[in-house]
Amino acid sequence: MSLSILTGLSGVGKSTVLEEAVLLSDKEYKVINYGDKMFEISKERNLVDSRDEMKEIDTATYKEVQGEAAEQIFELSKDENVILDTHATIKTPHGYIPGLPKWSIEQLSPDKIIMLHASADEIFERTQGDDRNREHKSVEGIEQYLNVSREMAAADAVLTGAYFQIIENPDGGAEKAAEKLVKTLKA
């Protein structure tokens, strides 16, 4: 059994490619969203009622929940082939937050870290006029976001020894990207 982490900026087409890949593959994968798992744990602990309240959890508790989620996901990956859907970093007005800090990535100890990638130009085009992607204000900003994401994912690979795969998802290329994702997952 294996654990692969799929990362990618919003607007890169992660959901589409992931759905396609799960259909294409003859293997069974359990897709887990890291944020969902953390929310589930936080609700069980009565820390929050709604997803919006996740932001208000204090840092120490947040890290604890993040580590606990990583532990549960790692346990699951012993019995099933898991794809963990998350981000290497999340851009906020106050800076980039590492999505897979040391205590999380070392606990997960993934086989592969995969970054779905598109050019800054394409991500800009795809996300304009979409309210969910307000962090993408300029091509230059997306360029930096892509760099920081790749850098944090590379550091995660060094911490764990995981394969670090970058898969291109250009306009009109979702199917080819999904095929490459399947090949990488099965390798």
The residues that touch a copy of itself, with contacts defined as CB under 8 A, are: 59, 63, 89, 92-98, 100-103, 105, 111-114, 144, 147-148, 150-152, 154-166, 183-184, 187
Looking at beta carbons only, is 80 or 106 nearer to a copy of itself? Answer: 106
Minimum Å distance from CB 115 to a copy of itself?
9
Minimum Å distance from CB 86 to a copy of itself?
14
Contact criterion met (CB below 8 Å) for 121 and 170: no
Minimum Å distance from CB 129 to a copy of itself?
25
Output DSSP code: residue 124: H
Output DSSP code: residue 52: G
Looking at beta carbons only, is 35 or 101 nearer to a copy of itself? Answer: 101
Minimum Å distance from CB 105 to a copy of itself?
8
Backbone angles phi, psi at 32, to 5 degrees: -120, 135
Beta-bridged to residue 31, according to DSSP, are: 83
Looking at beta carbons only, is 90 or 174 nearer to a copy of itself? Answer: 90
CA atoms of 173 and 138, how far apart (whole Å)? 23
Looking at beta carbons only, is 105 or 177 nearer to a copy of itself? Answer: 105
Look up tokens 């070392």; give the residue: 106
CA atoms of 48 and 174, how far apart (whole Å)? 36
Instruction: State whether residue 84 is helix, strand or coil.
Output: strand
